[in-house]
Copies of this chain bind each other. A is one copy, B any other.
Amino acid sequence: MNTFGDSFTFTSFGESHSAAIGGVLDGVPAGLHIDLDLIRANLDRRAGRNQQSAAGVSARAKNEADEVEWLSGVLDGVTLGTPVAFLIRNKDARPEDYEAFKHSFRQAHADSTYEAKYGIRDWRGGGRASARETTARVVAGSVAQQMLAEQGITIRATLVQVGAETRPGHFDETIARYRADGDSIGGIIRCEVTGLPTGLGEPIFDKLQAHLAYAILSINACKGFDYGSGFDGVTQPGSIANRQSGGLLGGITDGTTLSFRCVFKPTPSTPKAFAQMQNEKIVNRPIVNRSDSCVAVRAVPVVEAMTALVLANFIAITKKIQKNHSSM
- Give complex CA distance A255, B85 in Å: 31
With contacts A18-B72, A108-B245, A270-B238 known, is A116 near B11, CB below 8 A? Answer: no
- Give complex CA distance A323, B7 in Å: 13
Is the pair A204, B80 in contact by a Cβ cutoff of 8 Å? Answer: no
A106 CB, min distance to chain B CBs, angstroms: 10
Q: With a CB–CB cut-off of 8 A, which chain B residues contact A29?
A: 321, 324-325, 328
Q: Is A169 in contact with chain B by the CB < 8 A criterion?
A: no
Looking at chain A's contact residues, the main secondary structure is mixed
- Give complex CA distance A84, B327 in Å: 19
Q: Is A195 in contact with chain B by the CB < 8 A criterion?
A: no
Q: Which of A205-229 contact B (CB under 8 A)?
A: 205-207, 209-218, 220, 223-229
Is the pair B273, A242 in contact by a Cβ cutoff of 8 Å? Answer: yes
With contacts A110-B250, A161-B234, A320-B317 known, is A122 near B75, CB below 8 A? Answer: yes
Is the pair A80, B3 in contact by a Cβ cutoff of 8 Å? Answer: no
- Give complex CA distance A29, B323 in Å: 9
Q: Is A284 in contact with chain B by the CB < 8 A criterion?
A: no
Is the pair A24, B11 in contact by a Cβ cutoff of 8 Å? Answer: yes
With contacts A80-B120, A120-B78, A122-B80 known, is A273 near B238, CB below 8 A? Answer: yes
Q: Is A133 in contact with chain B by the CB < 8 A criterion?
A: yes
* Stretch in contact with the other chain, from A35-43, A44-52, A59-67, A259-267: A259-267
Contact of A73 among B18, B121, B227 (CB under 8 A): B18
Is the pair A323, B320 in contact by a Cβ cutoff of 8 Å? Answer: yes
Is the pair B118, A80 in contact by a Cβ cutoff of 8 Å? Answer: yes
Contact of A118 among B119, B227, B325 (CB under 8 A): B325
A127 CB, min distance to chain B CBs, angstroms: 7
Q: Is A128 in contact with chain B by the CB < 8 A criterion?
A: yes
Smallest Cβ-Cβ distance to A273: which chain B residue: B239
Q: With a CB–CB cut-off of 8 A, which chain B residues contact A327?
A: 150-151
A223 CB, min distance to chain B CBs, angstroms: 5
Q: Is A101 in contact with chain B by the CB < 8 A criterion?
A: no
Q: With a CB–CB cut-off of 8 A, which chain B residues contact A24?
A: 2, 11, 13, 24
With contacts A204-B1, A239-B276 known, is A70 near B122, CB below 8 A? Answer: no
Is the pair B229, A265 in contact by a Cβ cutoff of 8 Å? Answer: yes
Contact of A251 among B70, B110, B227 (CB under 8 A): B110
Q: Is A235 in contact with chain B by the CB < 8 A criterion?
A: yes
Is the pair B26, A3 in contact by a Cβ cutoff of 8 Å? Answer: yes
Is the pair A210, B214 in contact by a Cβ cutoff of 8 Å? Answer: yes
Is the pair A266, B252 in contact by a Cβ cutoff of 8 Å? Answer: no
- Give complex CA distance A78, B121 in Å: 11
Q: With a CB–CB cut-off of 8 A, which chain B residues contact A13?
A: 24, 71-73, 82-85
Is the pair A186, B236 in contact by a Cβ cutoff of 8 Å? Answer: yes
Q: Is A32 in contact with chain B by the CB < 8 A criterion?
A: yes
Contact of A203 among B82, B116, B230 (CB under 8 A): B82
Q: List 9 A-B contacts (CB under 8 A).
A: A7-B7, A19-B71, A32-B328, A110-B249, A117-B198, A186-B234, A211-B214, A233-B263, A242-B273
- What 6 A-B pairs come out closest when comparing CB atoms? A110-B250, A224-B226, A238-B266, A184-B238, A214-B214, A117-B199
